[in-house]
Amino acid sequence: MTPNLTILYVDSPEKSAAFYAGIFGVKPVEQSPTFAIFVFPDGIKLGLWSRHTVEPAPTGAAGTVEIAVPLASPAAVDEAWAKIGHAGHTVLQSPVDMEFGRTFLLADPDGHRIRFYNPPV
């Protein structure tokens, strides 16, 4: 078994889909008022489901997990920051060198965390 789909419960799939399309530069392959799904070139999928229509209803809060996006180099982290870090998104952590590499952290419109990082060699 290999998991390949992460689903985030969101207030507005349309608003969240616009956020992720801007961050990742891809459009959802499917979108409705209650759901949107992205399929990335490596086959990984990201679903955005309206928290108001999920059954059974979710009980957890956003911001307790991270979507991690590995980048090729510390310079690539800085390039991503230059492109998307100043685009009006909620910044939780500006670029910094940490024990696991160069990184920065954003939040989506619902408070879900997206970490961009360069893992050390």
Q: Are residues 56 and 66 in the same domain?
A: no
Q: Are residues 45 and 73 in the same domain?
A: no
Q: Are residues 41 and 79 in the same domain?
A: no
Q: Are residues 3 and 29 in the same domain?
A: yes
State the total domains in the chain: 2
Domain limits at 11?
Answer: 1-60
Phi–psi pair at 68, nearest 5 degrees = -105, 130
Closest CA to 108 of 86, 91, 83: 91
Phi–psi pair at 55, nearest 5 degrees = -130, 130
The C-alpha atoms of residue 1 and residue 31 are separated, in whole angstroms, by 27
Token pair recorded at residue 109: 């419109």
Which residue ranges in the chain fall short of pLDDT 50?
A: none
The CATH number given to whatever domain includes residue 92 is 3.30.720.110
Q: Global pTM?
A: 0.88
pLDDT at 120: 80
CA dihedral defined by 71, 74, 79, 84, rounded to 10 degrees? 60
